[in-house]
Amino acid sequence: MNLAEIDPELRKSLDSREQSIGFVIYRGETIWLIDWVDHFTLDQQKNIDAMCTEQRYRRFMPAGLTVQQWSKKLQSEFRNGIPQLTADLFPQYRDGETAKVVSADLLRREFFSEDEGQYAELSREIETELSFNTPMREELVQLRIRLFSKLPKFYINYDRKIFMHMVHGRSYETVVLDGWWAAEGDFEHMIPTSHRYWVRSTAEDFWAVTNFSNG
């Protein structure tokens, strides 16, 4: 679905990092979208196969179901029945109930919506801490953490079969579609400059918040 505004409920979900922002390149088109974090898993079928074949997971299998029935149940319940987010199935997912397509302008308005004069100060203190290890004030730390939640965590390029993510502690790169290159790491250089909604000027580029372990 196409989203015109980010409501308080979705904002709260982004802040808690239950949902995240991803950048997708699909057949020459660039798309920003928001969805539940695990819905950015390209090949959930690999996780389902592991659940159903490894003995340590059998305790989670509902009573009365065979392994095959449990596998089909897990497939149908994940991402509206799309466990493998292939190029052919991406339009169905994009136009479905959970994926929310947003514009760069909307994300820019959302990113800078809290600015009451602190953003410029935060930008300066980020540079000072990174350069001289001078800790910033606590209220700016909290703003920095909120801004981190508004940055993209996923990069999916169907045209080049590249997947990257920035969700520390999760191994999304291990469950991609066959033939894809995948890694956990910084992908800002892969985002066209016109789509970098976290940049307002040469003095205010907030991608640097990704350099802090707590966002």
pLDDT digits (tens, 9 = 90+) for 161-180: 999 999 999 999 999 999 99
pLDDT confidence band for 59 (50 / 70 / 90): confident
Cα angle 192, 196, 200; round to 5: 135
- Residue 65, pLDDT > 70, answer yes
* Contact in structure between 75 and 46 (CB atoms under 8 Å): no
Q: Is the pLDDT of residue 1 over 90?
A: no
pLDDT at 148 over 90: yes
- Classify strands 29-36 and 19-26 as parallel, antiparallel or unpaired: antiparallel
Residue 5 to residue 109: CA distance in whole angstroms: 10
Tokens representing 44 are 């959930």
Contact 190, 155 (CB under 8 A): yes
3-state helix, strand, coil in the chain (%, to 5): 45, 20, 35
Say what the pLDDT of residue 202 is. Answer: 87
Of 62-71, 83-92, 174-183, minimum mean pLDDT range = 62-71
Q: What is the pLDDT of residue 58?
A: 81
Query: What residues contact residue 165 under an 8 Å CB cut-off, 6+ apart?
Result: 40, 153, 154, 155, 172, 173, 184
- pLDDT confidence of residue 56: 85
Mean pLDDT, the chain, as a whole number?
95
What global pTM score does this model have?
0.94
Over residues 11-19, mean pLDDT? 97
Phi-psi region of 79 (alpha: psi -120 to 50; beta: other; left: phi over 0): left
The CA-based diameter of the chain, rounded to the nearest angstrom, is 61
SS3 191: coil
Q: How confident is the model at residue 215, as a pLDDT?
A: 67
SS3 assignment for 91-127: HHHHCCCCCEEECHHHHHHHHCCCCCCHHHHHHHHHH
How far is residue 100's CA from residue 25's CA, in Å, rounded to a whole number?
15
